[in-house]
């Protein structure tokens, strides 16, 4: 396997965390702290290889993991760093199946980095892919669950070594409800690992290449800054994204509700968008963009907000009055656009009964 | 073992459930539905033996189990009947230790009957004893946990077969918080089983003879009714209880709060108590009795409300305007009166900072 993929170097971590934050579509938590933890592990000698799906045969066992909780909690409640590892070990014990590789539940935000930090501790490779191609607020919103990953066993662990295992659980929505309630009791943020998957299933259900995609996006931002190039322009090219709006944030309404950051950001347009007003609905992530009350983009497509000058990704817990921003859009992966997927991650799944995805898709 | 103890007969079930309801001190849930379930099992041929602690040697493994949730939920959300069995089986799998006997977490209310219903399904004996000698609202409030039962593994199961296992957990308070949050997600009521205990520990930490005590109290009520004797008088003698108040319920304030029934019942005195007003604070169970604002009794002592004429135990979800009631009191078992126990089940543990147990103990 050593000839497959590439080893993540210390110099890759900042670009990777920037790219993950962009793909976080406002949520998924800020990858900065996870990046620092991973950097310490790599400096201490840990080596993590990012491998393509082809690197493993069908008999290999893969665990998906990531943090669960409201991103805004993660700003003040710092992780210990081994929460997901405890959840993983609990599942390995329960199932008797050791992990051959890890994969991210969601590439967007801190969970794009998390499997790398855990892989560094466990001595495992990380698959170049994930289950969202972005960030989503709920457990069941991965292509893994959408296309048939077992709902159990799954485990949640906190920073004090407490581990809660769900086994059996009847639906992925039940798993979300139970894991969320436990996470709230654990202080609003925890590590989660879901049922083991075989590589044959991963090849069918996972979104390939997203670690590399995040790395490429992050590198474009870093390089453009270094060469004083137009960051936004480079970002649009490298991410193959569409500019949807530019302006200044005029208001943010945000509250903690059932373990989620829920709210709305308002943006007064400038440049080509002067005189227009944009509105972005938030549940951890950016869900819907309206410009002058017309829907411009909606989940599962990616609605990403970056600081206009620097390309710095703006997460929902950091968006604030006065920020000059650009809103850019990216079509969701085809695996997120099937009828089966839209039931779970389309506008209706988030309570927007009146928004038809196919009418507004990017 | 077959010479030890006694087999529960169909004719014992009504008295037992009455006695458990009396000892429930207003809470623990109404044992009536569990009684019906157990009767069906016994009619179908199941045989459950109630055995004294002496019947098993120190190497025997005992599991304590019972329902968790607000009693008021149990009125409309009927149990399937195998919730606790699923929780038990999950723990047996996790620990590799099969149960030699079951014991009730709390003899008061529905949990006095629950282990018998589960034992009937599992073919196990039930120890004559429990961990509360009454009912209490929270998981950590058993003499098992107070005197050192391991906080994990523990498991909670619902009526749909979902099982959540807590392993490891750092404190019994954490277990309560996590199990409660899961129970609320499971619809407000679930079955729970806690970590296996050895018989040597049970002999030291459990309250002995409480199944038989409940049976004796229930039989006294049934017999007195049948012979038209004064039920209250017989009840006081058999239970060795003190009459604390008689009157009519004038108001009940009750709400669901964090998975508990919390509230207050007001009683206008009659007979020897005419002109006086009693007030009972409730968190699932009756916690404190005031008469004219003076504390007459408080946890962990038992404050029991029965219908004056019939001796029918009145649970907090059934207490209502106009009911003629007698309030009777019983001293808590010595194991609940140590400083160690009062930290967990004394007035302070329920937020009554100003009530000194030793001043007001029965």
| Contact between chains at B168 and A162 (C-beta distance less than 8 A) | yes
Q: Which residues contact B159 (CB under 8 A, 6 or more apart)?
A: B77, B79, B80, B83, B187
B6-210 fold: CV3147-like fold (3.40.1610)
Topology alike, domains A6-210 and A241-360: no
Q: Give the per-residue pLDDT at A146.
A: 97
Q: Is the pLDDT of residue B1 over 70?
A: no
Q: Is the pLDDT of residue B69 over 90?
A: no
Q: Give the per-residue pLDDT at A2.
A: 62
Q: Give the per-residue pLDDT at B140.
A: 95
Return d(Cα A164, Cα B258) in angstroms, integer. Answer: 20
Q: Give the per-residue pLDDT at B256.
A: 79
- DSSP assignment, residue B333? P
For A41, the token pair is 């592990």
Return d(Cα A222, Cα B54) in angstroms, integer. Answer: 74
- What is the enclosing helix (H) or strand (E) of B213? helix B210-226
Q: A181: which chain B residues are within 8 Å (Cβ-Cβ)?
A: 181-182, 184-185
Peptide bond preceding A168 in cis form (omega within 30 of 0):
yes
Return d(Cα B352, Cα B362) in angstroms, integer. Answer: 17
Indicate the SS3 state at residue A57. coil
Q: Give the per-residue pLDDT at A300.
A: 98
Residues 181-210, chain A: which have Cβ within 8 Å of B?
181-182, 184-186
Domains of chain B by residue range: 6-210, 242-360
pLDDT tens-digit readout, B238-297: 999 999 999 999 999 988 777 677 899 999 999 999 999 999 999 889 999 999 999 999
A358 touches chain B (CB under 8 A): no
Q: Is the pLDDT of residue B18 over 80?
A: yes
Q: Give the per-residue pLDDT at B55.
A: 97
Residues of chain A with pLDDT under 50: none
Indicate the SS3 state at residue A222. helix
Q: How confident is the model at residue B78 (pLDDT cuts 50, 70, 90)?
A: confident
Mean pLDDT on B151-180: 97
Q: Give the per-residue pLDDT at B332.
A: 97
Mean pLDDT on B324-332: 97
Q: A180: which chain B residues are within 8 Å (Cβ-Cβ)?
A: 185
Mean pLDDT on B174-201: 96
A241-360 fold: CV3147-like (2.40.390)
Q: B185: which chain A residues are within 8 Å (Cβ-Cβ)?
A: 177-178, 180-181
Q: Give the per-residue pLDDT at B316.
A: 83
Say which CATH architecture domain B242-360 belongs to.
Answer: Beta Barrel (2.40)
String of DSSP letters for A130-166? ESSSS--SSTT-SHHHHTT--S-SEEEE-TTS-EEEE
- Whether B100 contacts B171, CB under 8 Å: no
Indicate the SS3 state at residue B266. strand
Residue in A161, A168, A184 nearest the CB of B163: A168
So what's the ipTM on this one? 0.87
B222 touches chain A (CB under 8 A): no
B68 touches chain A (CB under 8 A): no
């Amino acid at each position: 396997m050593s000839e497959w993929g590439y080893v993540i170097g210390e110099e890759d971590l900042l670009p990777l965390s920037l790219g993950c934050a962009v793909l976080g579509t406002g949520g998924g938590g800020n990858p900065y702290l996870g990046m620092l933890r991973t950097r310490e592990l790599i400096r201490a000698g840990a080596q993590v290889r990012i491998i393509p799906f082809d690197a493993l045969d069908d008999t290999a066992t893969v665990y998906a993991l990531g943090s669960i909780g409201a991103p805004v909690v993660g700003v003040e409640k710092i992780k210990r760093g081994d929460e997901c590892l405890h959840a993983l070990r609990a599942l390995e014990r329960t199932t008797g199946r050791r992990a051959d590789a890890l994969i991210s539940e969601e590439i967007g935000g801190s969970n794009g980095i998390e499997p790398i930090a855990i892989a560094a501790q466990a001595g495992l490779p990380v698959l170049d892919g994930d289950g969202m191609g972005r960030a989503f607020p709920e457990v069941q919103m991965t292509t893994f669950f959408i296309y048939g990953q077992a709902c159990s066993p799954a485990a949640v662990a906190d920073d004090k070594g407490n581990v809660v295992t769900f086994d059996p659980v009847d639906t992925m929505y039940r798993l979300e409800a139970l894991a969320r309630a436990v996470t709230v009791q654990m202080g609003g943020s925890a590590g989660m690992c879901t049922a083991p998957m075989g590589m044959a299933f991963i090849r069918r259900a996972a979104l390939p290449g997203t670690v590399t995609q995040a790395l490429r996006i992050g590198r474009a931002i870093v390089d453009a800054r270094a060469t004083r190039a137009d960051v936004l322009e480079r970002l649009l090219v490298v991410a193959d994204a569409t500019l949807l709006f530019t302006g200044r944030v005029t208001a943010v309404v945000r509250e903690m509700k059932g373990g989620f950051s829920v709210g709305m950001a308002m943006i007064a347009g400038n440049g080509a968008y002067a005189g227009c007003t944009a509105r972005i609905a938030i549940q951890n992530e950016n869900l819907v963009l309206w410009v002058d009350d017309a829907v411009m983009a909606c989940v599962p497509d990616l609605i990403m907000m970056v600081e206009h000058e620097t390309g710095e990704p703006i997460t929902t817990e950091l968006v604030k009055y006065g920020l000059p921003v650009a809103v850019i859009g990216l079509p969701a992966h085809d695996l997120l656009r099937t009828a089966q997927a839209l039931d779970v991650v389309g506008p209706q799944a988030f309570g927007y009964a009146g928004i038809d995805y196919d009418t507004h898709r990017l």
